[in-house]
Amino acid sequence: GAAVACLDVNAEAVEQTAEALATLGGRTVAFHCDVTDEHQVRQVVDAVADQLGRPSVLCNVAGVGGFYHTVDMPVSKWQQMLAVNLTGPFLLARATLPYLLHPAGGTIVNVASTAAFQPIPGQAGYAAAKAFVRSYTHALRAEVRPFGLAVTALCPGPVATEFGQVAGLDDGDALGQIPKFLWVSAADVARSAVEGLDQGRAVVIPGLANRVGAVASSLAPASIVSQVVARGHPALRRHGR
């Protein structure tokens, strides 16, 4: 029964998402929005408030990645990755917070990744960007906690979406290199996010195996983790590094 606003830079895709959500009940409205455009983000957030009422939950889901050795990484791809993964959550949070703070109350979910817990050769920029999201979430959480707002970093591991294909990794690469027990369904990720919010957790990692892996990666020396990942990463193998 919730009213949901869907934002996406892909106008056709966001309409399809809104239509699918509408079948579950409640009101759903689609908005074309480039999360890296400050003016556009402000306009869309204000339009959401006008059409659906005061926003109470913000989910920063937009993200892009790339599978490259640093030598092969196009500057344009690097800049896009940082703009979407870093600037996007900041712009949406800043535009939405006035509604969440007056009157106070609401929730922000920033989607990071288990990549936030370790360096990943072949995805150096992506892992660093997700580490930023995780750190930024902790800081933002402290800033708004006095006003009764909750902020959570959702850090899923591998999920069966189009992310890998869009980033340039085919299904064979992904399925062949990542153990099956690490994969989590999109439904389970969403369920874990809701449960984590109910429990007031700052970081939510769906799947026991991914939680164990994230903790282990955080505790192990970065040099060792990097070497292990580099040996089998398909991006480095594909580019002959």
What is the distance between the alpha carbons of residues 13 and 62, in angstroms, rounded to a whole number?
13
CB hemisphere CA count around 45 (13 angstroms) = 26
Nearest to 176 by CA among 116, 238, 125, 121: 238
Which candidate in 68, 99, 126, 136 is catalytic?
A: 126
Contact 193, 154 (CB under 8 A): yes
Distances (CA, A) of 49 to 41, 44, 88, 99: 12, 9, 19, 8
What is the distance between the alpha carbons of residues 89 and 100, in angstroms, rounded to a whole number?
15
Q: Is 126 marked active-site?
A: yes
- Residues tagged active-site: 126
